[in-house]
Amino acid sequence: MDFEAIWVSVELAAITTLVLFVLGLPFAYWLSVTRWRLKFLLESLVVLPMILPPTVLGFYVLVAIGPMSPLGRVYEHMTGHGLAFSFQGLLLASIFYSMPFAVRPFAAAFANVDRRLIEASWCLGVSRIRTFLQIACPLSWAGIVTGLVLSFAHTLGEFGVVLMVGGNIPGVTRTISIAIYDEVQAVNYRGAAMASLVLLASSFIALSVTHLLNRKGGYGA
Amino acid sequence: MEPELVAEFEKNFPDGPPIKVRLHRPLGRFSLTVLFGPSGAGKTTALRCLAGLDRPQRGYIRFGDEIWFDASCGIQVEPQRRQIGYLFQDYALFPHLTVERNIAYGIRRLGDAERRKRIAELTDLLGLAGLEGRYPGQLSGGQQQRVALARALVCRPRLLLLDEPLCALDQPTREQLRRDLRRWLTKLGIPAVMVTHDRVEALGLGDHVIVMDHGCVRQCGPPQDVFAAPVDPAVARIVGVDNIEGGKVIRKVNGLATIQIGSSELLALSEACVGSRVCVCIRAEDVMLERGAVARQSSARNHLVGRIRSLDREGPIVRVGIDCGFLLKALVTHQACEDMGLCDGMDVTALIKAPAVRLIARE
Q: Where are the domains of chain A?
A: 3-216
Query: What is the rounded distance in angstroms from the CA atom of residue A154 to the CA atom of residue A158?
Result: 6
Q: Is B334 on the interface with A (CB under 8 A)?
A: no
Strand-by-strand arrangement of the B288-291 sheet: B288-291, B347-352, B302-314, B317-323, B327-333
Write down the pLDDT at residue B119: 93
Check which CATH number belongs to the domain holding B332 and give it. 2.40.50.100
Check which CATH number belongs to the domain holding B151 and give it. 3.40.50.300
What mean pLDDT do residues B341-352 have? Answer: 91
Which run of H or E residues covers position B33? strand B32-36
What 3-state class would DSSP assign to B52?
A: coil
Write down the pLDDT at residue B320: 93
Write down the pLDDT at residue A96: 93
A-B C-beta contacts closer than 8 Å: 57
Q: Is B51 on the interface with A (CB under 8 A)?
A: yes
Write down the pLDDT at residue B136: 95
Contacts of A139 in chain B (CB under 8 A): 94-96
Q: How far apart are the first and last CA of chain B?
A: 39
Could you say which of B79, B94, B136 has the minimum Cβ distance to residue A123?
B79
Contacts of B85 in chain A (CB under 8 A): 123
Crossing angle for the helix pair A54-65 and A70-79, to the nearest 10 degrees: 60
Could you say which of A114, A121, A125 has the minimum Cβ distance to residue B83?
A125
What mean pLDDT do residues B281-300 have? Answer: 83
Contacts of A140 in chain B (CB under 8 A): none
Q: Do B137 and A114 touch (CB under 8 A)?
A: no
ipTM of the assembly? 0.79
**B81 Cα to chain A: minimum distance (Å):** 6
**B333 Cα to chain A: minimum distance (Å):** 43
Q: Does pLDDT of B354 surpass 80?
A: yes
Contacts of B137 in chain A (CB under 8 A): 219-221
Q: Do A122 and B94 touch (CB under 8 A)?
A: no
Query: What pLDDT band is residue B362 in, cutting at 50, 70 and 90?
Result: low
Contact B355, B270 (CB under 8 A): no
Q: Is B247 on the interface with A (CB under 8 A)?
A: no
- Where helices occur in chain B by DSSP H, the ranges are 43-51, 99-104, 112-125, 141-153, 171-188, 199-205, 223-228, 233-239, 334-340
Write down the pLDDT at residue A1: 64
Contact A124, A46 (CB under 8 A): no
Write down the pLDDT at residue B212: 94
Q: Does pLDDT of B350 surpass 80?
A: yes
Superfamily grouping for domain A3-216: MetI-like (1.10.3720.10)
Q: Are residues B84 and B223 in the same domain?
A: yes
What mean pLDDT do residues A63-89 have? Answer: 85
Torsion angle defined by CA atoms of residues B77, B83, B84 and B88, in that order, rounded to the nearest 10 degrees: 80
Could you say which of B80, B88, B137 has the minimum Cβ distance to residue A221?
B137
Could you say which of A114, A125, A138 has the minimum Cβ distance to residue B106?
A125
Closest Cα partner for B210 from B13, B28, B47?
B47
Query: What is the rounded distance in angstroms from the CA atom of residue B112 to the CA atom of residue B104?
Result: 11
Count Cβ atoms below 10 Å from residue B350 Cβ, excluding itself.
23
Query: What is the rounded distance in angstroms from the CA atom of residue A12 to the CA atom of residue A91?
Result: 6
Q: Does pLDDT of A219 surpass 60?
A: no
Q: Does pLDDT of A5 surpass 90?
A: no
Query: What is the rounded distance in angstroms from the CA atom of residue A25 to the CA atom of residue A104?
Result: 10
- Where helices occur in chain A by DSSP H, the ranges are 3-19, 25-33, 39-51, 54-65, 70-79, 87-112, 115-123, 128-131, 137-139, 141-156, 160-161, 176-185, 189-216
Write down the pLDDT at residue A221: 37
What chain B residue is nearest to A124 in terms of C-alpha separation? B106
Give whole-number Cα distances, B226 to B223, B240, B354, in Å. 5, 11, 19
What mean pLDDT do residues B199-217 have? Answer: 88
Number of domains present in the structure of chain B: 2
Look up the domain containing B341 and give its range.
Answer: 241-361
What 3-state class would DSSP assign to B25?
A: strand
What mean pLDDT do residues A61-76 have? Answer: 86
Q: Are residues B285 and B226 in the same domain?
A: no
pLDDT tens for B230-259 read 888 888 888 887 887 888 899 998 889 999
Q: Are residues B30 and B117 in the same domain?
A: yes
Q: Are residues B315 and B332 in the same domain?
A: yes
Q: Are residues B204 and B252 in the same domain?
A: no
Backbone φ/ψ region at B317: left (φ over 0), alpha (ψ -120 to 50), beta: beta
Write down the pLDDT at residue B315: 78
Query: What is the rounded distance in angstroms from the CA atom of residue A116 to the CA atom of residue A130?
Result: 16
Contacts of B106 in chain A (CB under 8 A): 124-126
Write down the pLDDT at residue B279: 81
DSSP summary character for residue A132: I
Task: Report the percent of chain A where pLDDT is more than 70.
Answer: 97
Write down the pLDDT at residue B39: 86
Q: Are residues B210 and B65 in the same domain?
A: yes
Strand-by-strand arrangement of the B358-361 sheet: B264-269, B256-261, B243-253, B277-282, B358-361
Q: Does pLDDT of A139 surpass 90?
A: yes
What 3-state class would DSSP assign to B257?
A: strand
Q: Are residues B232 and B257 in the same domain?
A: no
Give whole-number Cα distances, B128 to A142, B101, B139, B165, B184, in Å. 31, 13, 11, 17, 14
Q: What's the whole-number average pLDDT of chain A? A: 89
Task: Report the percent of chain B where pLDDT is more than 70.
Answer: 98
Q: Are residues B302 and B177 in the same domain?
A: no
* A199 CA to centre of own chain: 17
Of the two residues A195 and B134, the one the predictor is more confident about is: B134
Exposed/middle/buried for residue B115 (C-beta within 10 Å: 0-12, 13-18, 19+): middle
Write down the pLDDT at residue A143: 92
Spatial CB neighbours of B254, under 8 Å, sequence gap ≥ 6: none
Write down the pLDDT at residue B275: 87
pLDDT tens for B62-92 read 999 999 999 999 999 999 999 999 999 999 9
Q: Are residues B103 and B161 in the same domain?
A: yes
Q: Does pLDDT of A220 surpass 50?
A: no
Phi, psi of A95 (to 5 degrees): -60, -45
Q: Is B151 on the interface with A (CB under 8 A)?
A: yes
Write down the pLDDT at residue B264: 87
Write down the pLDDT at residue A210: 86
Q: Are residues B255 and B209 in the same domain?
A: no
Q: Are residues B102 and B192 in the same domain?
A: yes
Write down the pLDDT at residue B295: 62
Out of B203, B237, B271, a domain closes at B237
Closest Cα partner for B282 from B344, B226, B360, B203?
B360
- Look at A63-77, A176-190, A206-220, B22-36 and tell me which has the smallest mean pLDDT: A206-220
Closest Cα partner for B99 from B141, B126, B129, B134?
B134
Phi, psi of B69 (to 5 degrees): -150, 135
Query: What pLDDT band is residue B109 in, cutting at 50, 70 and 90?
Result: confident
Out of B237, B259, B291, a domain closes at B237
**A76 Cα to chain B: minimum distance (Å):** 45
Could you say which of A117, A122, A219 has the minimum Cβ distance to residue B79?
A122
What chain A residue is nearest to B153 in terms of C-alpha separation? A124
Q: What's the per-residue H, E or C state across A144-177?
A: HHHHHHHHHHHHHCCCHHHHHHHCCCCCCCCCHH
Q: Does pLDDT of B134 surpass 80?
A: yes
What mean pLDDT do residues A133-142 have? Answer: 94
- Look at A17-31, B181-195, B291-305 and tell me which has the smallest mean pLDDT: B291-305
